[in-house]
Structure 1
Amino acid sequence: MAERTLRGARLGGQSFEDERGIEFAARQQVGYRCPRGHEFEITMSVEADVPATWECQKCGSEALSVSGIQPEAKVEKPARTHWDMLLERRSEKELEEILKERLELLRGGEIGPAHLHRAATRGKKRAG
């Protein structure tokens, strides 16, 4: 029975609410122009903070406001490199000492690739 009562009502396509007595917010039209020359307007509340940029409705590029609002310049931090992060933890003197120790271990065959270890141990067995 419920199916017959909704037939032809176009649910979602038509509002059954009455608009009498409703006061709409004050609106303004804000114009934008993209680098490709497309111009369009967006309806916004008068109280809204108008953004300096808006995505172009035709090509998707960044359109600037025609009212002269300029986008804020973003302060970009320089990229932190591995070296920068390393220097936050150790001084260059400490790093030189660690490098010297590791090179001694590598040259002594205590650390490093497996084929170097095998060659070093074979040489010791032959000598002994």
Structure 2
Amino acid sequence: MVNAGNAFKGTRIGTESYGGMAGWQAESGRRPAVVDRTVVSYWCIENHETRPTFAKLHDDEIPEVWECGRCGRAAGRLPGVEPLVDGIEPFKSHLQYAKERRSEEEAASVLEQALCNLRSRRGGLTGGLAT
């Protein structure tokens, strides 16, 4: 028969004990240090809001620019204003870097050379799909 007045009903062992402390904190008697926090809003040019949490800092220690969590663009602390970013290049994929280094003609030449090398290693297939 289950006792309806059981003090442990609805609790998990080890989660809350010794005055609200859990696990090693309860065993050692130590409490974690509580740090004051500041939530700062940043907006990108697409008007996405990102709200990172910082330790309580002076206003001049909080970064003026933060990366948007949705689109990856630079976000500033003023909505609707694109922040000025010096020296930080936006993300580029490998393909974008490759396109900067080669023209379309050079890319076609490199591709044709690679295909010729592959065909020679595979026994001289001359094109089309092998059956």
Q: Taking structure 2 as the reference length, what is the TM-score of the superposition?
A: 0.36
1 or 2, which has the higher helix percentage?
1
